Homo-oligomer: A and B are copies of this chain.
Amino acid sequence: MSASILVVGSVAFDSLKTPFGEAEEILGGSATYFSVAASYFSPIRLVAVVGSDFPDKHREVFRKHHIDTGGLVQVEGKTFRWKGEYGYDLNEARTLDTQLNVFEKFKPVIPKSYHDSDYVFLGNIDPELQLSVLEQIRRPRIVAFDSMNFWIRGKLEAVKKTIRHVDILIINDAETRMLANEPNLVRAAKRIQEMGPKTLIVKRGEYGVLMFNGTSVFGAPAFPLENVYDPTGAGDSFAGGFMGALAQFNEIDERAFRRCIIFGSVMASFNVEQFGLQRLSSLDRKQIDDRFCEFKALTHFDV
């Protein structure tokens, strides 16, 4: 039976501009993309904070996906806002504006009913807060972790302290090199594995994913798409698909990790095909399974 996933991260209003269009104050944030992607596979428990300006139509998105919002705290003030822009290559966002607002004083409190969560995803927030989440709950089966250059540069010791308690790191290649202080990705991965996590999943955007799990390595390309409109949330959708599938199958081994990486890649590929959550929030399971099979066709070769 499918196990529950506890996710802690940000819920935000995003304003986006790409060469193909723009959108104002749409629902975004790492925990949002993660939750919606993961909800196709497993029950989700969301811990985040929003302001008094958070509208009911946004809550409707979580309801539609049966996401448990018992840990979504609403406080006086404005919701976290992010404004970003992409060029034609769509590889990196240029941040135009960040307003932390209520997120600035966010101290995640995990509801008692979530303490038994078997799967935990620590979204990209202050590493000290990520550690405080782990201190509040019983020992889960799998803890996965995301971060960003801002925390690796600014709070390296806290990041290192937190990941000692983490099973799976899901970060991008630049963050991998930065965290390990090593330009070669294979050596960087080994160094990070020595810091604690047995498994490192390196996200490489349009180039796909590499997983280092113990001494084994797995590589998968990203799904080649004719229409890429908005890469916002691709990394979180990947993590959501990966963790969601992992909790659904509820098996922890190399074989399961590999299959779940493909489910993660499937969810990321859907996510970038339209603006914001449009595509990601309107899928059905058959579309997901079909694209999983297309991934097999994409990568298979005979020995």
Query: Hey, which bits of chain A sit against chain B, CB under 8 A?
Result: 88-89, 183-187, 204, 206-208, 210, 216-222, 224-228, 255, 258-259, 261-262, 292-293, 296-303
Contact = CB atoms under 8 A, between A and B. Distances in A.
A218 to B, nearest CB: 7
A219 B204 CA distance: 14
A23 B301 CA distance: 37
Given A207-B207, A216-B297, A255-B301, 5 more contacts: A207-B208, A217-B298, A258-B302, A261-B301, A293-B303
Q: Which 8 pairs between the two chains have the least Cβ-Cβ distance?
A: A219-B221, A207-B207, A258-B301, A186-B226, A88-B183, A186-B224, A219-B298, A296-B303
A208 B221 contact: yes
A228 B303 contact: no
The listed residue with most B CB atoms (<10 A of its CB), out of A187, A224, A301, is: A301
Nearest to A88: B183
Nearest to A19: B183
Given A218-B298, A218-B299, A298-B218, A184 B228 contact: yes
A268 B225 CA distance: 26
Chain A interface mostly: mixed
A228 B183 CA distance: 11
B89 A259 contact: no
B217 A259 contact: no
A218 B292 CA distance: 14
A302 B263 CA distance: 12
Contacts of A187: 226
A222 B185 CA distance: 12
Contacts of A301: 218, 220, 255, 258-259, 261-262, 296, 299
B302 A259 contact: yes
Contacts of A255: 301-302
A70 B226 CA distance: 46
A292 B298 contact: no
Given A207-B207, A208-B219, A185 B302 contact: no
Nearest to A258: B301
Contacts of A302: 255, 258-259
Contact of A220 (B222, B258, B262, B299): B299
12 contacts: A89-B183, A185-B224, A186-B225, A207-B208, A216-B297, A218-B298, A220-B299, A258-B301, A261-B301, A262-B301, A296-B301, A299-B301
